[in-house]
Amino acid sequence: MLTVGSALLGAAKRNAHKKALIFGEQSFTYMELNERANQIAWTIHDLGIKPGDRVALLLPNGLEMAELYFGVAKAGVIGVPLNLRWTPSEIEYAIRDAAVSLIVADPELQPALQQVPPQLKVLYTGEEGSWAEKVAKAKVIEPDFYQVQETDPWVIVYTSGTTGKPKGAVRNHLSNLMIALMLVSELGVTSDQVGFAILPMFHVNSMWFVTLSVAIGATCVIYPHRAFHPRLVIEQINLHKVNYGMFVPSILTFIADAVESGKVQADGLEVVMTSSAPLDSTLRDRLMKGFPKARLYDIYGSTELGAATILRHTADGPVGSVGYPAIGLDMKILDDHHKEVPDGTVGEIYVRGQTLMTEYWRNSEATMKNFTPDRFLTVGDMGYISNDGLLYLVDRKQDLIIVSGENVYPMEVEDVLLRHQGVALAVAFGIPDPRRGERIVAMVTEREEKEVAVEELEALCREHLADYKRPHLIEVVPGLPMGATGKVIRRLARSLWEEKSSGIAKS
């Protein structure tokens, strides 16, 4: 039976005294993690929460968040991880929408729960927390009150809400374990290696990463700081001799800087995964030169899709592609009339396979809209498949910029700007224009100890972009708004620019 709880139990039998998770000075062996998950399952059961009920998790990265994921899995209840960056009203919306029966929260995050209905039970973690006291007294034996099925929901993960109210993606045990097994087989990760989970654990990226590591019996290091800082990331990689990790391009930029300056050991990393945005050729080449023993992979996916495509980078390989469909997945590109388009034609990306979510929580309209009758699923990403079967992303459907009737995808512009050796991050977006419909604004940040001249970026765009795709304005800024996965949030960047430059935006 492919359930998350059974995967942990099997790993604990094989690796009882091996370190499973490391978080700063804290750690769990596999036996300890399995017993803690059992205690959590029994605690949930003793609180009168039934299989299929929802338990919200409002916790930062750490052992408590990890053990709760496995504990709810063994109890047969559905975990609802809450984004720590949400406002109290956003948290209140998710809690009501999921109809949760219990919230387990970090005591420092109590202000975020100020809009929670007063009758809802909230238990806090920590040494003296009410939750910790109950768990410590619970049984450590395997739960026997419910037989969890692989098709049972494990988590409801709320999407970012870029197109409206967040929707809850329902993911079952099987789909999440299939992601782990597929990545292990594709990437060659083994139980002898040490993994590094750096991204927030309320996000599916780290949730899958930790599940993968536990399922195969590897040791997983969880980034122990609440704020991202390049120096602290490098410190953890060196300290624990990390062999594999999942990153995003913005973080990999800092890691490339570190290896080039001799601040990170280049021999240890064997598998480097990146997601959220394709690597540009400059960063790819820097990483391959800096980590000559590492295998570098691009992975495209989403909360709803799981890991959909994989590309292993080579020195002379394709640039801008996110790879081929992963093992067991089918993919097609459809036009606005839901007709399949020829290779090389941009359309909406649809994926089918066992890594997909099952539905949007209590939202049959959105489920029917995003699934085709034959169970292909889209999240609104646009792209095309080349003649040799590679997927190329061009952007989110709603981020399309139309300049004088011509379609421009922001990622095209951003990829060119990122070719400049001094650019760390780039974002492009459209603003209204009375003559052209829209025009393009771009913002970039500089790499450490590098300077970027706008004139150089403009020349780069003239060389690589058609005239209608070139930014009307390029600004070098000290920082850009980042999401939980380390990706620039385009809509917030646009809002910040409009607030600062309202006169320009209205001209």
- Give the tokens for residue 375: 């169970």
Both 168 and 316 in one domain: the answer is no
Beta strands in 19-136 (DSSP E): 19-23, 26-29, 54-58, 78-81, 102-105, 121-124
In a domain, 195, yes or no: no
Among 342, 329, 410, CA closest to 376:
329
Which pLDDT score, from 0 to 100, does residue 354 have? 95
Higher pLDDT, 195 or 276: 195
Both 326 and 436 in one domain: the answer is no
Which pLDDT score, from 0 to 100, does residue 464 have? 86
Which range (85-94, 107-116, 200-209, 333-342) has the least confidence? Answer: 85-94
Residue 506 has pLDDT above 60, yes or no: no
CATH of the domain at 485: 3.30.300.30
CA distance 158 to 304: 10
Q: What are the distances in angstroms from CA 227 to CA 17, 99, 200, 482?
A: 31, 31, 10, 12
Q: Which helix (H) or strand (E) element contains residue 212?
A: helix 204-216
Strand 168-172 vs strand 359-360: parallel, antiparallel, or unpaired?
antiparallel
Map residue 43 onto helix, strand or coil.
helix
Q: What are the respective helix, strand and coil percentages of the chain, to the nearest 5?
A: 35, 25, 40
Both 247 and 306 in one domain: the answer is yes
Both 486 and 423 in one domain: the answer is yes
CA distance 297 to 314: 9
Name 199's Cβ contacts closer than 8 Å, sequence gap at least 6: 205, 206, 209, 223, 246, 248, 484, 485, 486
> Is the Cα dihedral 404, 410, 415, 420 positive or negative?
positive
CA distance 495 to 489: 10
CA distance 457 to 479: 17
Among 101, 111, 121, CA closest to 54:
101
Q: In b/e form, how buried is each residue of 299-318, taking b as 16+ CB within 10 angstroms?
A: bbbbbbbbbbbbbebeeebb
In a domain, 460, yes or no: yes
In a domain, 213, yes or no: no
Reported as a single tens digit per residue, the pLDDT across 337-350 is 999 999 999 999 99
In a domain, 205, yes or no: no
In a domain, 198, yes or no: no
Reported as a single tens digit per residue, the pLDDT across 120-143 is 999 999 877 789 999 999 999 999
Higher pLDDT, 172 or 398: 172
Contact 425, 480 (CB under 8 A): yes
Average pLDDT score over residue span 357-374: 96
Amino acid (1-letter code) at residue 209: F
CATH of the domain at 15: 3.40.50.12780
Which pLDDT score, from 0 to 100, does residue 168 have? 97
In a domain, 209, yes or no: no
Reported as a single tens digit per residue, the pLDDT across 203-252 is 898 999 999 999 999 999 999 998 878 889 999 999 999 999 998 887 88
Which pLDDT score, from 0 to 100, does residue 160 have? 62
Task: For residue 57, list its beta bridge partners.
Answer: 81, 104
Which residue, of 182, 205, 239, is where some domain finishes? 182
Residue 505 has pLDDT above 50, yes or no: no
Both 32 and 173 in one domain: the answer is yes
Total domains, the chain: 3
Task: Please give the DSSP secondary-structure letter assigned to residue 470.
Answer: S
Which pLDDT score, from 0 to 100, does residue 162 have? 45
Residue 409 has pLDDT above 90, yes or no: no
Which pLDDT score, from 0 to 100, does residue 249 have? 81
Residue 313 has pLDDT above 60, yes or no: yes
Both 146 and 35 in one domain: the answer is yes
Both 99 and 237 in one domain: the answer is no
Higher pLDDT, 418 or 249: 418
Both 233 and 323 in one domain: the answer is yes
Q: In b/e form, how buried is each residue of 492-505, taking b as 16+ CB within 10 angstroms?
A: ebbebbeeeeeeeb
Which residue, of 374, 397, 420, is where some domain finishes? 397
* Other Cβ atoms within 10 Å of 124 Cβ, number: 19
Task: Please give the DSSP secondary-structure letter assigned to residue 451.
Answer: -
Q: Tell me the pTM.
A: 0.84
Residue 507 has pLDDT above 50, yes or no: no
Average pLDDT score over residue span 259-282: 86
Q: In b/e form, how buried is each residue of 71-103, taking b as 16+ CB within 10 angstroms?
A: bbbbbbbbbbbbbbebeeebbbbbbebbebbbb
Which range (26-35, 153-162, 296-305) has the least confidence? Answer: 153-162
Higher pLDDT, 398 or 429: 429
Reported as a single tens digit per residue, the pLDDT across 35-71 is 999 999 999 999 999 999 999 999 999 999 999 999 9
Both 335 and 414 in one domain: the answer is no
Which pLDDT score, from 0 to 100, does residue 503 have? 52
Among 141, 159, 124, 152, CA closest to 50:
152
- 445: domain range? 400-506
Which pLDDT score, from 0 to 100, does residue 164 have? 56
Average pLDDT score over residue span 414-428: 93
Residue 14 has pLDDT above 50, yes or no: yes
CA distance 11 to 84: 30
Reported as a single tens digit per residue, the pLDDT across 440-499 is 999 999 998 889 999 999 999 998 888 889 999 999 999 999 876 777 888 889 988 988
In a domain, 221, yes or no: no
Which residue, of 371, 397, 423, is where some domain finishes? 397
In a domain, 200, yes or no: no
Higher pLDDT, 144 or 408: 144
Average pLDDT of every residue of the chain: 92
Which pLDDT score, from 0 to 100, does residue 115 have? 92
Amino acid (1-letter code) at residue 280: D
Residue 201 has pLDDT above 50, yes or no: yes
Among 245, 199, 239, 257, CA closest to 220:
245
Both 412 and 469 in one domain: the answer is yes
Reported as a single tens digit per residue, the pLDDT across 146-180 is 999 999 999 999 986 544 578 999 999 999 999 99
Both 31 and 53 in one domain: the answer is yes
Both 50 and 175 in one domain: the answer is yes
